[in-house]
A and B are shown apart, each in its own frame.
Chain A
Amino acid sequence: MDRRKFIKCLGCTAAAAAASQTDFLPRALGGLQNAYAFSYTEKLSKVEARFYKKLEEGGIECGLCPRHCRITDLERGYCGVRENRDDVYYTLVYGLPCALNIDPIEKKPLFHFHPGTTAFSLATAGCNVNCKCCQNWDISQSRPEQTKNIDMPPKDVIDICRERKIPTIAYTYSEPVIFYEYMSDIAELGHKHDIKSVMITGGYIEKEPLAELIPRLDAIKVDLKAIRTDYYRDYVDGELQPVLDGLVQMKKAGIWLELVYLVIPTLNDSDAEFKELARWIKTNLGSDVPVHFSRFHPQYLLKNLPMTPEATLQRAHDISKAEGLDFVYLGNLPGHPAESTYCPGCGEILIERRGYRVAPRNLKGNRCGSCDREIPGRF
């Protein structure tokens, strides 16, 4: 690939995405291919994975996420992107993103992290859970042979960010935990060049890899999909407790953290759940962690359910505020007042948002311009 052409293309893609509100990246890359004879690679990587151990009886056990897949020769873990070859475990997606774009940081969403800036966003195939409502299922639930991948080692990612003056890299769309080695190496290299990294994740990761990763990242956004274990079992194919443990670990480590809760009609939208969620957050993470309640659109395996009514989102908002959370946002509702940031002290508007348009109002550095209260985040 001619990298200059590619960088130029990204500009076009980002502009087109902003204009059309379509952001899905394989499609964007498809457009690039037509315009610039952009080429994909069919090869898979063979970079030794981290956090696995060999088993006495043969095979390996992966310790990257709470699944602890036990994998025999030639087989892959649940995520589909890690393979045992002769009892050496490899990541097959190192340097092989299948989705790339330049997004507003608000789209992650991260509202208290350098608002109004952009993030070079990338993903590989694969995921370690299987949410029935996944909006990127065509890459997250695919194996890397089934996606169109391009050859982009960490250095190329950093070069693009430097040339385009993109301050942040976002590991997003699918599940970055499953491309841990790639993400970790990019993030480390990025810090050497003052480029920040944010992980947009379901938070299904083991303690040790998370502990090693946190210093390389600058912010994490976690999709907390529900506060009930049965939801995680039935609609995520995962477990809730490791996610909660991970959130506490992140908070204790001091990394900037925001949460998204996708509200799905009938599945996780009761008053009791909203209350339980707010109380858990307040007790375990603190009232200053921003929470985004996001509107569900029917897709993937949940096409039978309707879009979330605005009233339900409002209810989630009101209950969370009443329980004492300071920053409660509503997502996928462009134009709603709860897209904006208000000072929890005096109620003054600090950052006004309309969709991805961001206008600073009364924020002075990281303080409210009206009452001087400190506003948590990285501004």
Chain B
Amino acid sequence: MVPLYIICMSRVVVVKYSGNADNKFLDKKQYRRLLETALGKLARDADYKTYIMQRFPKGAVGMKTNCLAAFNPTLSPLIDALSELITKNSKIDNNDLIVWERTNKELKRAGYKLNASSFGRRYLGTDSSGVGYDDSQFYSAGKVDSMVTRILTRMVDHNINLGVLKHHSIAGMSAGMKNMYGAVHNPNKYHGNNCSPFTADINNLEPIKSKHRLTVIDAVRVQYDKGPGFNSKYMGYYNGLVLSENPVAADSVALMILDHLRRENGLPQLAATSQKVKYLEAAEKIGLGTANIKSIDLQVAVVASDGTTSTGDLF
């Protein structure tokens, strides 16, 4: 029997792919195996199908990509795999999926074909005609007041944050929470003091917090320094995904991975630099989630190329 304190802890699942010795991009099938395994683990006693059904019962689902760096964006095989899992295991069909970004330009630059039609999986920037920021209300969870994209306030019932793990020269790290800067009209107002408490504040804005269902951080290829712009010289490989319902816990584990890759490459831990990741503590303070690793129920699974899974270590 699982002790109650474990059930109450925020679960973070790290799922690694062991069959990628030459560090290639993963394809849809490989991402799908990783997702099935990870969602199954998030389901605790159930399986991934039940998890999807319960977490995304019906309605429209948004998927926030991170396409800021055109050469290191959220990848389409991951989106395709996740979309397939959702549509096959819930009442949600492709018409109810909205892959979204701050601008159409960013989506296009990352290789996505826009779809603002009424059919099929939508690919929309907030600047798409008829979308925009919701000017009916300013939201604030701290010092800054913002308009939030109508995709979140009006168009979706659930949101999945599809962040890409990378170094960020201001915040220290961009993983899941930093990705939500793309949901407000004035992200430039949220950059002081290593983006803290601003990253926490953004994720605490009512439409963002209330629609958040899942964080999926792609840590297959991780730029461990000189981010967020793309710089291939600093690309490391972890070959894994980080998933959690708790955005703070997901980022806290992601930070361990980023620091691990930095260590392996002879760089100091972020906490020892001016780019210390400060926003996690701030987020925990306002009750947005768990930043303390000791309070996180961390599950690590390894998927082999033949599809078999086993438990593993973070590093």
By the criterion CB–CB under 8 Å, are B169 and A58 in contact? yes
B191: Cβ under 8 A from any A Cβ = yes
Q: Which A60-113 residues have a C-beta within 8 angstroms of B? A: 69-80, 86
A contacts with B: majority SS: loop
B232: Cβ under 8 A from any A Cβ = no
By the criterion CB–CB under 8 Å, are A80 and B188 in contact? yes
Cα distance A142–B184 when bound, in Å? 11
Q: Mark B223-259, 1 if CB is under 8 A from A, else 0.
A: 0001111000000000000000000000000000000
A310: Cβ under 8 A from any B Cβ = no
By the criterion CB–CB under 8 Å, are A79 and B188 in contact? yes
Cα distance A142–B147 when bound, in Å? 10
Q: List 22 A-B contacts (CB under 8 A).
A: A57-B169, A58-B169, A71-B170, A72-B170, A72-B228, A73-B226, A73-B229, A74-B228, A75-B191, A76-B188, A78-B189, A78-B192, A79-B188, A80-B186, A86-B229, A130-B189, A141-B185, A141-B189, A142-B185, A143-B185, A146-B133, A301-B145
Report the nearest A residue to B181, measured CB to CB: A75
By the criterion CB–CB under 8 Å, are B191 and A78 in contact? yes
Report the nearest A residue to B125, measured CB to CB: A145
Which residues of chain B have C-beta atoms less than 8 A from A80's C-beta?
A: 186, 188-189
Cα distance A58–B167 when bound, in Å? 13
Cα distance A72–B275 when bound, in Å? 12
Q: How many A-B residue pairs have CB under 8 A?
A: 60
Which residues of chain B have C-beta atoms less than 8 A from A74's C-beta?
A: 68-69, 228-229
Known contacts A58-B226, A80-B188; 15 additional CB pairs below 8 A are: A59-B169, A69-B191, A72-B170, A73-B226, A74-B228, A75-B191, A76-B188, A77-B188, A78-B188, A79-B188, A80-B186, A80-B189, A86-B229, A130-B189, A141-B186
By the criterion CB–CB under 8 Å, are A146 and B191 in contact? no
By the criterion CB–CB under 8 Å, are B186 and A73 in contact? no
Chain B proximity of A130: nearest CB distance (Å) = 6
Chain A proximity of B184: nearest CB distance (Å) = 11
The total of chain B residues at the interface (CB under 8 A) is: 23
Cα distance A134–B227 when bound, in Å? 34
Cα distance A132–B144 when bound, in Å? 10
Cα distance A77–B186 when bound, in Å? 11
Which residues of chain B have C-beta atoms less than 8 A from A86's C-beta?
A: 229
Cα distance A79–B192 when bound, in Å? 12
A237: Cβ under 8 A from any B Cβ = yes
Q: Mark A195-207, 1 if CB is under 8 A from B, else 0.
A: 0000000000000
Report the nearest A residue to B135, measured CB to CB: A138
Cα distance A80–B170 when bound, in Å? 16
By the criterion CB–CB under 8 Å, are A145 and B228 in contact? no
Q: Which B130-155 residues have a C-beta within 8 angstroms of A? A: 133, 138, 143-145
